[in-house]
């Protein structure tokens, strides 16, 4: 079952797609996420990591 949380329209929201993130095999995924988290969020923004080859780290 998929739940959708109600949120106040006045608040900011960062949605992170974690489907392709792999912090164990690709340290660059964590670095990219941390860079995204320090950026200011205005309204609703989506963080969609580019991903990288598993053997490229």
* Domain ranges for the chain: 13-48
Alpha-carbon gap, residue 16 to 33, rounded angstroms: 9
Alpha-carbon gap, residue 5 to 21, rounded angstroms: 23
Alpha-carbon gap, residue 57 to 48, rounded angstroms: 19
Exposure class string for 22-49: b at 16+ Cβ within 10 A, else e: beeebebbeebeeeeeeeeeeeeeebeb
> So what's the pLDDT on residue 3?
59
pLDDT in tens, 4-44: 566 566 788 989 988 888 889 888 888 988 988 898 989 99
pLDDT in tens, 11-21: 889 899 888 88
Confidence at 53, pLDDT banded by 50, 70, 90: low
Confidence at 2, pLDDT banded by 50, 70, 90: low
Tokens 């988290």 sit at which residue?
37
């Amino acid at each position: 079952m998929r739940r959708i949380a109600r949120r106040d329209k006045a608040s900011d929201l960062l949605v992170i797609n974690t489907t392709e993130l792999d912090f164990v095999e690709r340290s660059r995924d964590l670095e990219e996420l941390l860079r995204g988290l320090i950026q200011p969020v205005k309204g609703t923004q989506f963080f969609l990591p580019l991903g990288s080859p598993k053997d490229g780290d």
